[in-house]
């Protein structure tokens, strides 16, 4: 099983620092999550029902009713390769590790973002995290739809994981999800900060959704998760305020890293990715201060999520200042 950010308990054991004393910046999840209303008792007692209003709330938010609720993006990432044909699969590198892992039985080709256009006509399935995780690279909607048209014209597929797009959804393909051979994944885990709910959506043509629903079985999303997701998706005022807040926080994080660490970071409103020749040493030094960030080996890099409050921002700034003083 692959490792991901959020392994706080393991870090606490390794460094001998209680979990409650850490500043966890390893996940890229909104540290100020959507405030889910109190759950009615019936949500816990009754089996989930499709007619609860969740699909309608998601359709209004995403601009398409061509959707299926799933237990987070991960459930779909694991299930889709069994439903989508094609021997040659192209993915960005680096990217979210579960994508190449899910397609490992195919002929995989990893590429840089600037190489995608030259490879589209020589692949059967193009899988993109958009924005890319961990680098934050984005493409225009026009370019994505152009790639889809070239793929679909000869039976190829475009799969787009939009887990991090809610903070700035201008280039989302969700409104186009009814097109043949196009799959869009959305999640409540990042922008809404509800990773523990395990709630997300597959937006795709009806035939694929029906096959996926059969594969996942009944009650794929729990009643409490459906309740939380419906409330969050319907709260447009919270979404607007969160986008403004996260945009400012993302700029603040980028400037903080630029001031203290060499190199130029990239990312989204929710995280910054910084290639660094001594990434492992910086990761270890921050951990000794009780600050957990995500370490990448190839290329050596660090991904920083957002602190939740001013105390967290000060703690991160102080630790980075100490590292700079010791030439980390």
Series of mean pLDDT values for 10-residue runs along the chain (328 residues) = 73 95 96 96 93 96 98 95 98 96 97 97 98 97 98 98 97 96 97 96 98 95 97 98 98 97 95 96 96 94 98 98 71
pLDDT at 324: 79
Q: Where are the domains of the chain?
A: 8-33+237-325, 41-234
- Contacts for 234-241 with beta carbons within 8 Å, 24 or more apart? 234/57, 234/60, 234/61, 235/34, 236/61, 238/34, 238/35, 239/61, 239/166, 239/191
Quote the pLDDT of residue 4: 62
CATH class of 41-234: alpha beta
Burial category of 165 from C-beta neighbours within 10 Å (exposed 0-12, middle 13-18, buried 19 and up): buried
For 8-33+237-325, the fitting CATH number among 3.40.1190.20, 3.30.70.330, 3.90.1150.10, 2.40.128.120 is: 3.90.1150.10
pLDDT at 298: 85
What confidence score (pLDDT) does residue 241 get? Answer: 98
What pLDDT does residue 328 have? Answer: 44
Which pTM value belongs to this model?
0.94
Q: Do domains 8-33+237-325 and 41-234 have the same CATH topology?
A: no
Q: Would you say 256 and 320 are in contact if contact means Cβ atoms under 8 Å apart?
A: yes
- CA within 13 Å, CB half, 211: 10
Residue whose C-alpha is closest to residue 84's, from 148, 159, 154:
159
Q: Quick one: pLDDT at residue 7?
A: 85
């Amino acid at each position: 099983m692959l490792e991901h950010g959020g392994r706080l308990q393991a870090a606490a054991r390794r460094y001998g620092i209680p979990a409650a004393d850490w500043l966890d910046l390893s996940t890229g999840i909104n540290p100020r999550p959507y405030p889910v209303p109190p759950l009615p008792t019936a949500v816990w007692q009754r089996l989930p029902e499709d007619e609860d209003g969740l699909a309608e709330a998601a359709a209004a938010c995403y601009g398409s009713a061509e959707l299926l609720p799933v237990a987070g993006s991960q459930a779909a990432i694991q299930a889709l390769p069994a439903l989508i044909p094609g021997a040659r699969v192209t993915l960005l590198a680096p990217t979210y590790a579960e994508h190449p892992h899910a397609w490992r039985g195919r002929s995989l080709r990893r590429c840089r973002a600037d190489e995608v256009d030259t490879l589209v006509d020589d692949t059967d399935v193009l899988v993109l995290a958009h924005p890319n995780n961990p680098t934050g690279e984005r493409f225009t909607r026009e370019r994505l739809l152009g790639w889809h048209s070239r793929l679909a014209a000869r039976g190829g597929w475009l799969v787009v994981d939009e887990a991090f797009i809610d903070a700035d959804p201008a280039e989302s393909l969700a409104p186009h999800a009814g097109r043949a051979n196009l799959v869009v994944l959305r999640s409540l885990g990042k922008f809404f900060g509800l990773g523990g709910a395990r709630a997300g959506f597959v937006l795709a043509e009806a035939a694929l959704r029906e096959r996926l629903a059969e594969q996942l079985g009944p009650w794929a999303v729990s009643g409490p998760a459906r309740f939380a997701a419906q409330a969050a998706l319907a709260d447009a005022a919270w979404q607007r305020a969160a986008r403004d807040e996260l945009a400012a926080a993302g700029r603040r994080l980028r400037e903080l890293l630029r001031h203290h660490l060499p190199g130029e970071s990239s990312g989204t409103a929710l995280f910054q990715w910084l290639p660094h020749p001594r990434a492992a040493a910086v990761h270890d030094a921050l951990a000794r201060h009780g600050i957990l960030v995500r370490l990448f080996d190839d290329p050596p890099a660090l991904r920083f999520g957002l602190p939740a409050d001013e105390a967290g921002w000060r703690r991160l700034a102080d630790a980075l200042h100490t590292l700079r003083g010791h030439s980390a």
